[in-house]
């Protein structure tokens, strides 16, 4: 009504603020709370952003309904009592439930409406539906620049998939981000904590940590002890990825990544592949979380054919989204 009647179909906000104020007063008086000027502006924007998607969805439902009716004519009609006795919803009710393409809460859509880039908005919408994100988690994932971080490690084809399918995990590199954002640990940004402090903080906020890692991660154990040739080693964190069907080993480093750290992770990964994983499971993934890393050291230590071991930086604060856009070359 605001767009088509008050604005005569114009998508521009070229109408007096007084118009929304008057509408707000009338609607609030007639229908109660929920029709503030800001909320009406959000409703207007929601309509402009999603009307084409809704119309497309309705058209598809109409086509589907027409095909269903044609198909029904070819079949013998069943007694109404038999249909009602199945315990299933009748067709009209089922169709009504399928009419809306919108699966999130209004508060989630208010957050999505603030995202100007259409591909980015679609990505967060898909992930919010698939991962059942509430308002707080959606806001946190957006503030942590999840979309930009995933783009940095993907080619053009994979980037396009993000806005159509969301975050699809089909290989080891898909499950890894760089950087990881650990602001929820509430640790200082300076090097005033130890690796033990970092691990303890992660365990205390394990649910948040698994959400930051992404879909598919399950916790197995911490400080896993292995003994080789009389020497004891302890793996910081052992996880399992249910989609990739493999173990994931995480080593924590508070400083700059060294080649010896990569060699140690290679040993852990080889051990798990030979001694722990089942024949039907896939190869183990190793992720080293560090404050700083040197790309040449990683490249020449692991080799160009490496597909199992990854080094990712972690940050204790939300990154500058504009800076990530510049890095990926979109600004």
Whether 13 is in a domain gets the answer yes
CA distance 270 to 275: 8
Whether 213 is in a domain gets the answer yes
CA distance 159 to 152: 9
Helix axes 91-98, 37-73, angle to 10 degrees: 140
User: Is-contact 77 69, C-beta < 8 A?
Assistant: no
- DSSP secondary structure letter of residue 171: S
Query: Is the preceding omega at residue 179 within 30 degrees of 0, hence cis?
Result: yes
Q: In the listed set 72, 102, 132, which residue is the last one of a domain according to the structure?
A: 102
Whether residue 224 sits in one domain with residue 97 = no
Whether residue 157 sits in one domain with residue 305 = yes
Structure tokens at 39: 């909320």
- Give the contacts of 99 (CB within 8 A, at least 6 positions apart): 57, 58, 61
User: Is-contact 318 145, C-beta < 8 A?
Assistant: yes
What's 227's domain CATH number? Answer: 3.40.1350.10
Whether 112 is in a domain gets the answer no
Whether residue 201 sits in one domain with residue 306 = yes
Structure tokens at 176: 């890894």
Whether residue 313 sits in one domain with residue 255 = yes
Whether residue 323 sits in one domain with residue 188 = yes
Structure tokens at 87: 């315990």
Whether residue 97 sits in one domain with residue 152 = no
Whether residue 148 sits in one domain with residue 89 = no
Whether 127 is in a domain gets the answer no
Whether 120 is in a domain gets the answer no
* Helix (H) or strand (E) run with residue 310 in it: strand 309-315
pLDDT in tens, the chain (331 residues): 777 766 555 555 555 567 788 889 999 999 999 899 899 989 988 998 998 888 887 777 767 666 666 666 655 555 544 444 444 544 554 454 456 788 999 999 999 999 999 999 999 999 999 999 999 999 999 999 999 888 887 777 778 888 888 898 999 999 999 899 999 998 876 657 889 999 999 999 999 999 999 999 999 999 999 999 999 999 999 999 999 999 999 999 988 899 999 999 999 999 999 999 999 999 999 999 999 998 899 989 998 889 999 999 999 888 776 666 655 555 4
Whether 131 is in a domain gets the answer no
Whether residue 238 sits in one domain with residue 176 = yes
Q: In the listed set 69, 102, 135, which residue is the last one of a domain according to the structure?
A: 102
Please list the residues that pair with 240 across neighbouring strands: 218, 247
Structure tokens at 305: 């054919």
- Give the contacts of 106 (CB within 8 A, at least 6 positions apart): none
Parent domain of 275:
144-327
Burial class (CB in 10 A: 0-12, 13-18, 19+), 328: middle
Whether residue 230 sits in one domain with residue 154 = yes
Whether residue 303 sits in one domain with residue 157 = yes
The dihedrals phi and psi of 132, each to the nearest 5 degrees, come to 60, 45
Q: Would you call 116 helix, strand, or coil by DSSP?
A: coil
Whether 123 is in a domain gets the answer no
Whether residue 309 sits in one domain with residue 173 = yes
Whether 126 is in a domain gets the answer no
CA distance 241 to 227: 24
Whether residue 73 sits in one domain with residue 168 = no
Q: In the listed set 102, 131, 154, which residue is the last one of a domain according to the structure?
A: 102
Q: How many domains does one find in the chain?
A: 2
Buried b / exposed e over 19-33, threshold 16 CB at 10 Å, is ebeebbeebeeeeee
């Amino acid at each position: 009504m605001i767009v088509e009647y008050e604005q005569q179909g114009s998508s521009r906000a070229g109408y007096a603020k007084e118009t929304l104020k008057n509408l707000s007063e009338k609607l609030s008086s007639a229908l109660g709370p929920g029709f503030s000027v800001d909320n009406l502006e959000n409703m207007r924007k929601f309509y402009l952003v999603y009307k084409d998607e809704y119309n497309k969805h309705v058209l598809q439902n109409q086509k589907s309904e027409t095909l269903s009716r044609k198909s029904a004519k070819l079949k013998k009609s069943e007694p109404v009592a038999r249909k009602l006795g199945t315990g299933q919803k009748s067709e009209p009710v089922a169709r009504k439930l399928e009419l809306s393409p919108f699966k999130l809460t209004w508060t989630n859509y208010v957050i999505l409406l603030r995202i100007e880039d259409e591909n980015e908005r679609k990505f967060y919408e898909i992930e919010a539906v698939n991962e059942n994100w509430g308002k707080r988690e959606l806001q946190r994932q957006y503030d942590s620049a999840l979309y930009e971080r995933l783009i940095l490690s993907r080619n053009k084809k994979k980037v396009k998939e993000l806005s159509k399918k969301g975050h699809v995990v089909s290989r080891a590199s898909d499950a890894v981000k760089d950087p990881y954002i650990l602001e929820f640990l509430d640790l200082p940004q300076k090097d005033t904590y130890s690796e033990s402090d970092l691990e303890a903080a992660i365990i205390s906020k394990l649910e948040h940590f698994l959400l930051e890692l992404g879909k598919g991660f399950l916790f197995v154990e911490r400080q896993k002890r292995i003994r080789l040739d009389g020497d004891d080693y302890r793996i910081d964190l052992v996880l399992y990825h249910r989609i990739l069907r493999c173990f994931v080993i995480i080593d924590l480093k508070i400083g700059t990544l060294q080649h010896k750290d990569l060699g140690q992770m290679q040993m852990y990964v080889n051990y798990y592949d030979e001694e722990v994983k089942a024949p039907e499971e896939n190869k183990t993934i190793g992720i080293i979380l560090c404050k700083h890393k040197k790309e040449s050291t990683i490249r020449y230590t692991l080799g160009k054919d490496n597909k199992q071991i990854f080094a990712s930086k972690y940050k204790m604060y939300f990154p500058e989204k504009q800076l990530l856009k510049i890095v990926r070359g979109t600004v």
